[in-house]
Every structure is written in C-alpha cells, then in structure tokens.
Chains A and B, each alone.
Chain A
C-alpha cells in the first residue's frame, strides 16, 4: 500500500513577513500593489469561500438578465482583494480598524484588477497609531472600487505588540 501525503506539509510554520512600524511610514507613501487575474475558476472559489450563491456571481445567464455583461465579484469578495494588499503590507502586528468602500464598476470574469493604496493620513488617537490608506481597484475599463482602510500599527517602542481597542475605539493595548 502506498501512503498518500498532501503536496504541502500542513504542519509547517509559515514564514513571518517583514513588519511595518508607525514611525517608518509617511503620508504619500505607496504600499505594494497586486494584480489579480479573475479567471472563472477563481470567481467560483470566491463564491464557495463566502457562500454567496446568488447566480449573479456564478451564472452568466442570470448576471446578463440583471444588466451585467457576465458574472461579477460579490462586494465582500472585492474587499478581499484589498485584504490581500493591506495584510501583505501591515505585517502580523498591524490591525485594521475600519474600512469604507464604494463599488463603481463590476469586477468581471476575465478582468485583471489592479489594487493599490497610498498612505493618505497618519495620526495618533485614543492610544492608537493610525494610518488611513487611500485604496483603489482598477478594472480594465475604469476605476472599480475606491475607499479608505484605517490601520492601527505597532511602534518601534513596542515592536511585537498588536494594538487592541474597545467598542469606543480607545486602545486597550497601547502601542505608542
């Protein structure tokens, strides 16, 4: 009998990415962008992962009957593209405080979506080190989604402390 092993060792510890600290970022800095190729298979993976099953997101006939040219990414899946870009950048000790976005164009199967962001504002408030990232997703036709992601970053003084806050937004674990 031949044993079967998964192609990836699922017990491995993942590499810890470089950490970004509040003192190291400046207003106007761009964060690394990512291009996403929205193949049909990938669109269906989003549907399965989020369990958003309206036909608009997996059935061309239904999408077209509702005014789209074909299946398009569901809103929260569009946000997951931002998640990738922001999470890659902020490291394991950064945390997202809030996100605001507006969708302005369908993210269609076959599109390559370019997602990038710029540090729009940097400030300290309620014990948190905060930065506003001005985010943008570009479809091949026009800008498809814009908005802001506010991230709380650790400081060089407490380099391995993740900021936490209460329901009033006041730091419960201060990183300043």
Chain B
C-alpha cells in the first residue's frame, strides 16, 4: 500500500509515558516474543510530499548550534564528496516521511471546543497496523535507539519509510513498573530507492507501580 496522504493517527512512537489501555490478560511477554520478526507496518509505505530544503537544514542545526559546514554550504558539501548539502546524521529520522500535519481540504486539527491542553492527532511518522498481542500495560515511554546510516540524505531528497518489524521483547521489572522492553525496526529510503537509514526504536511498556513504590 502506497500512502501519500496525511495519516491522522496518534504518533505512538513519540509519546513516552503516555497512558495506554488494553492488552490481553491471557497473553504473556513470552507470547509476545513469539512474534519477533513479524512486520506490523500493515504494508504501508509512507512517502513524504516535502523534499529536504535549505530551511529544514538550518532549523535542524540551530537548536544545538551544529556548525559543520557540510550542513550549511553546498560547495563545501560537494567538495567533501556529497551530492549536495547534507542532513545532519542525527536529524535523518526527523526528515518528513509523511505528508505534513495539515493539508487543504482536511478538517481542522484545532476544534473550537478543544481546551488549551488539547493534543491534536497529527501525522504518524511510522507506518503501523497495531502491535502484536501483549499483556495489559498502562504506561509506555521511549528508551533506546540503534540507527545505521548508509546513503547520505541531501538537499532535494524525498524520503520514504517502510516496515515496522518487531525486533526484540525483553521482560523486566524496573524502578517505575513491571513490563517489557520492545523494539521495532524501520527502514528509510530516498527517491532513488537507496537505503539511507535503518533504525530500531525501543520503548518500555509497563504497569506503573504505585507512586510510593517508585524509586526516584
């Protein structure tokens, strides 16, 4: 399935500590681990409608004040062997692979009856068709990531995201709760079909301990 429209599901991958409901009390984490290697992207291929532009590159560099001139100057980037100005390696996963947060013809993301802390369902950054069977949990947060880089991402590139393969399931009790570390692997491609990055993002899904029992 090739998807070029905005996906209006909650961005689960970017939501540490978000309360989750559901889960099956008859399922154990060992059952979940049996699904390692299975793809939970639903076959969705997310193609960005935006290309990497100079403004994006400046914005990526500004907050941490990243001054490597291959990110700022096209001539220097070419001299260093790149096709054009380069996306900072740490920002590759932030390059849009979706079609924006709102587009003409779509309903408002900010209804008039929303309160000041209302959180709109903006674009998902990862193709997803749900999760494998899991025990009940009520909290989840991001924990870790491994990302490999291949072809550099440069000015003018248009990225595509594919796959969400269950990579690991590690049950563990921590100072905040009882649950498991899980991770999913996603691949990122450029407009020429070249693999630019492969990332495995991990999170901790758990049943939160009572506040008095949490070790701060």
Interface positions of A (Cβ within 8 A of B): 13-17, 36, 42, 45-46, 48-56, 59, 61-62, 66-68, 74-77, 79-84, 87-88, 92-93, 95-103, 147, 160-162, 164-167, 169, 173
Contacts and interface: CB of A to CB of B under 8 A. Distances in A.
A49 B59 contact: yes
Given A17-B68, A53-B122, A97-B148, A82 B90 contact: yes
B44 interface: no
Interface string B62-81: 11111111111101100111
Contacts of A52: 14, 94
Contacts of B89: 83, 87, 95-96, 99
- Interface of chain A: mostly helix, strand, loop or mixed: mixed
A50 B89 CA distance: 13
Interface of B: 11, 14-19, 59-60, 62-73, 75-76, 79-82, 88-91, 93-94, 96, 101, 117, 119-120, 122, 139, 142-150, 152, 176, 195, 202, 208
| B76, B148, B152, B208 interface centre (most CB from chain A within 10 Å) | B148
Given A50-B91, A51-B94, A83 B76 contact: no
Nearest to B94: A50
Given A13-B73, A84-B66, A102-B144, A167 B150 contact: yes
Contacts of B150: 165-167
Contacts of B120: 53
A51 to B, nearest CB: 7
B100 to A, nearest CB: 9
